[in-house]
Amino acid sequence: MKKNIVLLLIICSLFVSINGFATENYPTNPIRIIIPFNPGGGSDILTRAVDKYLNLEQPRVLIYIPGASGLLGAMETLKAQPDGYTILAHNSNNIVAQYLSDATDIMLWRELEPICDIVMDHTVLTTNKMTGWTKFEDALNYAKENPGKLTWGVTGARGLSAVNMLMVQEATGVKYQMVPYDGGAATRTALLGGHIDLETTTVSDARAVIESGDAIPLAVLDDTRSPFLPDVPTLQEIGYDVLAFQPRSYYAPPGTPEAIIKKLAAAFEEVSKEEGFIKDMEELYLVVRFRGPEGSGQVSEDMYNDWKPIFDRYFQ
């Protein structure tokens, strides 16, 4: 019996030593970064830009696992070995919203190990030229004078843009008519064609139509103005407490050693300080705003706490 116990202790000691050695010398193999969307999308473009400056001594391989609005790639990461050789590039907004909309019963933002948020995209409320509105108050006054007539296009009846609309509705106390579409492109087409009055989207997605003058930005849904739309006020400035920014995040599988998470986070943080990377992000209309593991996780928790009452009231 004693011999068995001694043998077990030796085996455990060897396992801890080997595991500690692997962690200390990480990385020694190529790292795969899962992109849960098709090539050419926002996560792909961002990750390729990050990869140019990422110093991890080993090559990275981008793996595309699209499907279910990013859920398939997230689930693949959830099941991966927690050895630091799998990273997920995702949007924390999507992960939280998918749980609240019953797309999954897993709180992925809690199960996965957050590495960091590296950039964020402001959410902007836009209208078309045909409305003649140039500021948020114009749209709000129209909605007050014409109850239920102002049309607000959203991507999916239970998606992020629907939540954005409902948060503004609750903050202003004015009812808007929600018009759901299957995708952002369809919503944008409807806006520019005059079929809807308003749309919420990201500054990076709307930059071309804003620059052309086809879409008019009315307000930014954040506590800070977008540096790319410096003359457009935030809803908080106008007097409505609505926050709807979109962080771009990176995650590791559950159980990834803390030392590896810290090393990855430090590497991503160094990228966020590179002048070349900051310039690349400016060209994409993305704001560099780094948050480490703890800060990234807290942002997701805050989203969940802010959005859950909305889902409970409107989507149950």
Q: What is the pLDDT along the chain (316 residues), one digit of tens a residue?
A: 556 665 555 555 544 444 454 588 999 999 999 999 999 888 999 999 999 999 999 999 999 999 988 999 999 999 999 999 999 999 999 999 999 999 999 999 999 999 999 999 999 999 999 999 999 999 999 999 999 999 999 988 888 889 999 999 999 999 999 999 988 889 999 999 999 999 999 999 899 999 999 999 999 999 899 999 999 999 999 999 998 989 999 999 999 999 999 999 999 999 999 999 999 999 999 999 999 999 999 999 999 999 999 999 998 7
**Integer Cα distance of 303 and 96 in angstroms:** 7
Q: Which two tokens stand for residue 100?
A: 């609240």
Domain segments of the chain as ranges? 30-120+247-314, 123-238
Contact 216, 134 (CB under 8 A): yes
What is the pTM for the complete model shown? 0.86
Per CATH, the number for 123-238 is: 3.40.190.10
Q: What is the pLDDT of residue 156?
A: 83
Helix (H) or strand (E) holding 262, with range, is helix 258-273
Domain 30-120+247-314 = CATH 3.20.190.10: no
**Integer Cα distance of 111 and 91 in angstroms:** 15
